């Protein structure tokens, strides 16, 4: 029997939706990339009584209620050893839910897959990218929802070039939209234009995915920037009329683009912004040049790379009653 389980899941970038129109019977669909900037790490073990310690305890207790069918009458000691920053657009909620669900399923000896984890914890209501990335890492495209879809299917997955880097810019003074506020925001937005959805899908199929396959940095970056412009303009009314939640992040991204960065955008509802660069040396050079302005605006900059793997699960088999 398994005595304890440690699950580690990487943060992710949400790089845009495919189609918020739904005219073809499927809505949303999204692009995502696993990154090594942050991770959620949970260890669960058999215990005489239930306990939760470490980061995000209230969110974990809420998730335990959703996972009652898995927990049953057993008790576990759960330790949240690291967590992706919440409400920053980096997938903290989904990765926390899937990580906990995976740990408890493995500890309980129950067979399940990531789709069941998502269903039990209510994840994937719009984007399926975070769910797919939990399994595979890399760059994924999900196919969105149709009427009977429970969890959006992953329809494409690509290995992300090892040399490319991502510069993250975060604004601790801002907070991304989530929960009821997010639901209300989607409800208030107008119908997404079919022409815009068509442009996005064309760029994914003929610019972004081929760019990854051929290691064509310029093609990939141009496709991401174009999609972010379309999606950012659509969401602007919910963000004070801007493509970006944080004006300061927007200003610094503008400087990075002028200095040669590509694929400029905001992950999910922000406030975290991102920019792609072709290698580590270029990333260090751009960050060094932008650091004085970032410090003046009290922004945080971080260089990271993609992870071409999903969550890691380590089991300790010492017997569990």
Convert the pLDDT of each residue in 236-295 to its tens digit.
999 999 999 999 999 999 999 999 999 999 999 999 999 999 999 999 999 999 999 999
Confidence (pTM): 0.95
Give the H/E segment covering residue 230. helix 217-235
Q: Retrieve residue 86's tokens.
A: 């919440």
Fold of 165-304: Alpha-Beta Plaits (3.30.70)
Determine the length of the chain.
321
Report, as an integer, the average pLDDT of 230-236. 96
The answer, yes or no, to whether residue 110 has pLDDT greater than 90, is: no
The secondary element (H helix, E strand) that includes residue 33 is strand 28-46
- Specify the domain boundaries for CATH 3.30.70.890 within the chain: 165-304
Distance CA 180, CA 135 (A): 28
Give the C-alpha distances (Å, rounded to integers) separating 186 from 109, 240, 245, 303.
39, 15, 16, 31
Please give the pLDDT value at position 149: 87
3-state SS assignment for residue 222: helix
CATH 3.30.230.10 in the chain is located at 4-160+308-316
Domain 4-160+308-316 = CATH 3.30.230.10: yes
Cα–Cα distance for residue pair 257/76, rounded to 1 Å:
48
Sign of CA dihedral 83, 89, 90, 94: positive
Averaged pLDDT, 88-113: 91
Confidence of residue 317 (pLDDT cuts 50, 70, 90): confident
Candidates 284, 254, 281; CA nearest to 266 is 254
**CA 75 – CA 291 distance, rounded (Å):** 48
Nearest to 93 by CA among 52, 59, 127: 59
Does residue 271 have a cis bond before it (omega within 30 degrees)? Answer: yes
In 130-250, beta strands by DSSP E? 139-142, 154-158, 165-170
The DSSP symbol for 245 reads S
CB 320 within 8 A of CB 2: yes
State the pLDDT at residue 319: 47
């Amino acid at each position: 029997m398994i005595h304890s389980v440690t699950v580690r899941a990487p943060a992710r970038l949400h790089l845009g939706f495919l189609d918020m129109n739904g005219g073809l019977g499927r809505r949303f669909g999204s692009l995502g990339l696993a990154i090594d900037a942050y991770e959620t790490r949970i260890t669960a073990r058999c215990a005489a009584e239930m306990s939760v310690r470490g980061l995000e305890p209230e969110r974990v207790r809420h998730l335990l209620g959703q996972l009652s069918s898995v927990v049953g009458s057993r008790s576990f000691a759960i330790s949240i050893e690291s967590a992706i920053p919440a409400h920053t657009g980096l997938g903290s909620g989904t990765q926390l839910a899937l990580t906990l669900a995976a740990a408890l399923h493995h500890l309980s000896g129950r067979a399940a897959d990531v789709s069941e984890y998502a269903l039990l914890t209510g994840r994937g209501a719009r984007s399926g990218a975070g769910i797919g990335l939990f399994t595979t890492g890399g760059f994924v495209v999900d196919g969105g929802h149709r009427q009977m879809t429970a969890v959006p299917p992953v329809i494409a997955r690509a290995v992300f070039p090892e040399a490319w880097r991502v510069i993250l810019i975060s604004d601790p003074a801002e907070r991304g939209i989530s929960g009821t506020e997010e639901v209300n925001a989607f409800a208030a937005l107008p119908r997404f234009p079919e022409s815009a959805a068509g442009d996005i899908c064309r760029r994914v199929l003929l610019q972004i995915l081929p760019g990854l396959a051929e290691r064509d940095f310029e093609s990939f970056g141009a496709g991401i920037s174009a999609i972010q412009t379309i999606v950012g303009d659509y969401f602007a009314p919910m963000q004070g009329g801007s493509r970006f939640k944080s004006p300061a992040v927007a200003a610094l991204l503008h400087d990075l683009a002028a200095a040669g960065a590509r694929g400029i955008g905001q992950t999910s509802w922000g406030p975290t912004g991102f920019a792609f660069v072709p290698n580590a040396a270029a990333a260090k050079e751009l960050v060094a040049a932008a650091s004085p302005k970032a410090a003046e605006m009290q922004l945080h900059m971080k260089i990271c790379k993609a992870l071409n793997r999903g969550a890691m699960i380590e089991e300790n088999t010492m017997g569990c009653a």
